[in-house]
Structures are given as structure tokens and as C-alpha cells.
Structure 1
Amino acid sequence: MLRVDVTKKLGEFSIEASFTSEGRVTGLFGASGAGKTSLINMIAGLLKPDRGIISIDGETLDDVAARVHVPPHRRRIGYVFQDARLFPHLDVRQNLDYGRRMNQLAEDPAQRARVTELLDIGGLMDRRPGKLSGGERQRVALGRALLSKPRLLLLDEPLGSLDESRKVEILPYLVRLRDEAHVPMVYVSHDAAEMRQLATQIVMVRNGRVSAFGGVKVLSGGSPT
């Protein structure tokens, strides 16, 4: 269970958001500039709230009143960005292994095989990111995050930089992650069609506030604005 109850002032913009989700995929849905990325950056520990609490499965990650702030590297949260952020000088095999090594985890060949099969990246191992398509790069970024054994996976518009054909290519892999990886996800997007395919619960964000929360029915308006 993910609990978020925070406020944060960012210049002239402010966030006041509160929700509790037990969904396999919690969709943060809203227009550009609504505050979605700032919210997941607080969940990741990259941004400290000014007030409030963030917890996962009863473990407190932030509690401003109690002066609790667990640093990002101790949160066991995977983060996949819109631009993949793979290391260009490393091949796919080395990129995949980066999260495991950074978290000082023992090698787990069985998990690597499961993730490789799940994302269909076995044939890419010796290639560098510059030789991959946008969809392939995102699948490798997903694999790297999963191999760090996160308890929560954050995806910040992972299809946002892809053209329509690449989106169609990678969406089935995201659905498989939801159904087979057994890692809860927070998925950020302003695309209602993506949310309808992937999300099990929706947090609609408007001007830094939660304007609606529930199942995909909250998307019936079809617009994040």
C-alpha cells in the first residue's frame, strides 16, 4: 500500500496531494505542469516534502514532523524516466547489471532470466544504447529497474518520447509487467488511452491537487486539463 499526504511549494506553484493506493498500477494522470513528476520525485526521495508523510506497506519514508527522510538509495524504489537514461559507454548486459551492483545485491541468474524473457531483450545484450531503438532502450531501462529488486516501480511518462509505432510496440510489455512481475507501479502519463490499458487505480492531478481518485471510470472525461 502506498500512502502519500504531502504539501510542497515550488516557486509560485504548490502541491497539496493526499491519496492511498493499493493498486497494482497507480496512474498519476494530468496535464503537463500539473505536478505529477514532482509527486513521484517525492515518493522516490529526490524531493523532500514541506509537510506530510509518505509510506509504503506501513514503512515510513518521509515524515516531516518526525524529521524522517529515508534517502533515495535506501528506499528500494526503481525509477524509469522518459528518456531511459542508459549509460552510453556500457552494453545492455552491463546496463542491466548496474542497479544490482549499486544496491549491492547478490547475482540472481533466475531473476535475470525471468526479466530478460519478460521484456524480450535477450538478443540485445552485446549492443550499446546508441544501437537500440527507442522502444528497446525503454525495455532495457525497465529491466535495469526490475533487477534492482524494487518494492515499487516509478515510471515517469516512459512512452512520452516514443512515436506511435514504438508506443504500440512497448505497451504489451508494460501490461506484462503489471500482470507478471508482481511489483506495484506508479505510472505517470497525460494519455488517457495508456491509463485505460495499464492502470488499476487513477489519481487525477490538476494544478498540484488531487481532483479525482478511483478506478479508470475517473477518466470518463478523457482530458487531463
Structure 2
Amino acid sequence: MSTAKGLAYLHDHCNPKIIHRDVKASNIFLDEEFEALVGDFGLAKLMDYKDTHVTTCVRGTSWHIAPEYLSNGKASEKCDVFGYGVLLLELISGRGASDLALLANHNNDRLLDWVTRLVKEKRLGALVDADLEGNYNEEEVEQLSQLALLCTQDSPMERPKMCEVIRMLEGDDGLAEKWKQWQEETFKQQNYFNLTHHPNLNLMHDYSTSRILPDELSGPR
């Protein structure tokens, strides 16, 4: 929750607004009271409120980079929302995003497709940190997984703002409504692609950073 509030402050209460651009576990610190603090602003960008995005060279960490930023260098606060969604998946699973991606690939899935399928089929045991030994609240894990998937949608316009994420974390009913809308939209898209038999279907939404040079990702500031 504290991380979400920190990002919401950067996005909505700073002038100009601040885009972190590298939201990941190693950039979240804990104080003496174990409150989470957002740190490492080496990749941060300032953005005027009248602008929808800033265009810049791609920087960040593999698997945490939003698709629109990776493909065309357009960074906005929704890139941080994407990174936050990946962070949630890491917290739920106890694994790094790259480890989760490898695990998904064993099932011939992309990471987010794999998580989506587990959540829809309510097979959360395959996702949750094994060290918990089944000692977790299934309803809470399901809700956090749904929120993570909403935050990592392909379209930045469809992702919630961090202020909305906070309300959902606090138990706002908006999560159930947005999840239902997401499922309906996903169903429509799947039907469309199945009907059109798009020849490049397997390539669509492939946002792997494997083709990007290391110095284009997280590294020297």
C-alpha cells in the first residue's frame, strides 16, 4: 500500500509530475517501521500535467518495462502502473519476474497470459510463493492477482491510475467491476483473433527485451 501511495504522490501531487520509470522490488526500501519507500530516482523523468507522455530512450529493467514504452519510447505514469503490477506478481509468487517468465514459458505461455489463465481457472496454488506452504488467504491473493493483471494491461489507457489502485487495495468495489469489464473485453478480443486467424497472432504482445542491448536497460545512470 505504501508503495502505491508513494507512486500516486509522484504522479498526482508533484508539479511537474514525476515518472519513476524503474518500479521494481530492489527500488523499494523499508524504514524502521517496515513502511515501504520508493527509492532510486536515477531514471526518473519530469512531465508537465498538460502532456500525455514524454518520449525518451528506453531505460528500465527487463520484464518491468511497459509495452508502449518498449516499442516507441513513450513514457507516462502508466508505465509505473505496469511496473507496479509486475511487482505485485513478484510479491505473490516470491519469484522475480524473469523467473516467472521462465516458468510460464515451460507451459508455452507468455508471462501475463500464464498468470491470466491461472487466475481465471482459480489455480492460484501454482502462482503463490511455495514457502507459504498454503498458509494464505485465497480471496486476498485472487484479488491482488486480478489487480496485478489490470495494472499490466497492454493498453496504457486501460490501466488504472495509482490513485485508483489505492482505492482497490483499500477494498473499494471498483476492483470487481473493472475485473468484470476486463474479462468481457478479453473475451471479445480472443473471439476476434480466432475469427480472423491473424498470421502474426503469436508475435502480437511479445514485448520481450531480449533484442535490446544491455546498455539500453537498467544500468549506468
- The TM-score, its normalising length taken from structure 1, stands at 0.24
Instruction: Compare the two structures and name the one with the higher strand fraction.
Output: 1
Asked which structure has the greater RCO (Cα within 8 Å, sep 6+), the reply is: 1
- The TM-score, its normalising length taken from structure 2, stands at 0.24
